[in-house]
Amino acid sequence: MCLDESVPSSDSTSHSLTAESVRAFAQEAGFSEAGLVALPHDAESRDADRFEQWVNAGRAGTMDYLKRQSESGAFLRARVATPFPWAQSAIVCLAVYNSDEPLSTETHEWNAAWIARYAWSSRVDAGGKISPSDYHKVLLKRLRSLQANLREEHGSFEARAYVDTGPVVERALATAAGLGWTAKNTCLIHPKLGSFTFVAVLLTSLPVEAQATSPTIPDRCGSCRRCLDACPTGALIAPYQMDAARCISYLTIEHRGTIPPELMEETGRQVFGCDICQDVCPWNRKAPISADPELVARTELVNPTLQWLAALEEGDFERTFNGSPVRRAGFTGLRRNVAVAMGNSGLRDFAPRLQQWVESADAGVRAAARWALDKLTS
């Protein structure tokens, strides 16, 4: 999601951004932490080369939006200057979404599914009513507040705000802005907040005061390889290298159609996203629990039963997940994932439901149901 504002910069004051003021404004807007980096940053060429190599190696799967190029053939996401030549600074903000609910690695009920932690979000209104919240919208609203405060301080400037959907590599900018390091599981790890954080980016035409960029944090993964060893599908092909086409999060959210049988076997009972590589990470053992009223965990999405998810018809799906990140998978995508989870549950009670889904109009659901039914009845 993007806040796209092209504001003439002729009225801008001569004030430059500082890390201290940016962090204060970001926390006032509701973010947990924030950092600042001048553009282009010191590691941009290295990061751009890595991104290009990753895409060219086919690691992006069917996520064609990651492969978009400019008229000159440059990948839009490789360098901020390609789509935004006016950008002089990046403000990167974090919001903690960790909760005190169990980890996926602590869940052993065979009839329970797993929905990724980040997708549990909900908001509590003044009357105590809980409703689903989409972190994209929540964080974009905070970026608007941050941008408004900066405009009062510095005058008019050009800006773009993104939460997961813009032509930027948020993790690389966050690392350059001193908010952590890119871990062996390719997630961003903040030394105090861990990796259960959302990343939001505000690009601006404002310069950064000399020596004001947030200091970078060195890699602290050391010799640990818990994430690599725990990944069921082998998506972490080497330290710091992810093959998205094998990642359970990609398979259950971004991928459309049929999941390869060998990967269905390893997907387990994950029906939307995957937290395994983060759940086993030592840096998340003492990660703080979020007190954010707009990112409260929906308890009904924590270890939901496969029976409940399977009984949802399309209208139920829309009502249950309206305003929730789970809608990204789509109704048929979630049903396909539930079918796979049923096959991996080992519970033959699911066979009648799977027999119905073998006749589904959706090819992905049909293939998953056949695979699951064969596994349960063989």
Q: pLDDT at position 131, please?
A: 82
Q: pLDDT at position 3, please?
A: 55
- State in Å, rounded, how far the first CA of the chain is from the last one: 45
Given a contact cutoff of 8 angstroms between Cβ atoms, the answer to whether 287 and 309 are in contact is no
Given a contact cutoff of 8 angstroms between Cβ atoms, the answer to whether 170 and 92 are in contact is yes
Question: Among all residues, which ones are annotated catalytic?
Answer: 164
For 269-296, the pLDDT digits (tens) are 999 999 999 999 999 999 999 989 899 9
Residue (of 94, 72, 97, 99) closest to 83 by Cα position: 72
Q: Residue 123's beta-bridge partner residues?
A: 131
pLDDT 10s digit of each residue in the chain, 378 long? 555 554 444 344 457 999 999 999 999 999 999 999 999 999 999 999 999 999 999 999 999 999 999 999 999 999 999 999 999 999 999 999 999 999 999 977 899 999 999 999 998 777 877 888 899 999 999 999 999 999 999 999 999 999 998 999 999 999 999 999 999 999 999 999 999 999 999 999 999 998 777 789 999 999 999 999 999 999 999 999 999 999 999 999 999 999 999 999 999 999 999 999 999 999 999 999 998 989 999 999 999 999 999 999 999 999 999 989 999 999 999 999 999 999 999 999 999 999 999 999 999 999 999 999 999 998
SS3 state at 142: helix
Q: pLDDT at position 2, please?
A: 54
- How would DSSP label each residue in 93-119? EEEE---SSPPGGG---TTB-EE-GGG
DSSP3 helix / strand / coil % (the chain, rounded to 5):
40, 15, 45
Peptide bond connecting 40 to the previous residue in cis, omega within 30 degrees of 0? yes
Furthest CA-CA distance within the chain: 73
Q: pLDDT at position 108, please?
A: 79
Distance in angstroms (rounded) separating the CA atoms of residues 111 and 54: 37
Torsion of CA 295, 298, 303, 304, to 10 degrees: -140
Residue (of 46, 116, 50, 163) closest to 277 by Cα position: 116
Treating both helix axes as pointing N-terminal to C-terminal, what angle do 314-321 and 331-345 enclose, rounded to 10 degrees?
Answer: 100
Given a contact cutoff of 8 angstroms between Cβ atoms, the answer to whether 138 and 295 are in contact is yes
Phi, psi (5° rounding) for residue 92?
-115, 125
Q: Rg of the chain's alpha carbons, rounded to an integer?
A: 22
Q: In the chain, what are the domain boundaries?
A: 2-101+130-204, 226-289+300-377
Distance in angstroms (rounded) separating the CA atoms of residues 201 and 2: 10
Given a contact cutoff of 8 angstroms between Cβ atoms, the answer to whether 177 and 35 are in contact is yes
Which residues, at least 6 apart from 271, have a Cβ–Cβ distance to it below 8 Å? 113, 114, 115, 252, 309, 334, 337, 338, 340, 341
Query: Tokens in use for 248?
Result: 């359970």
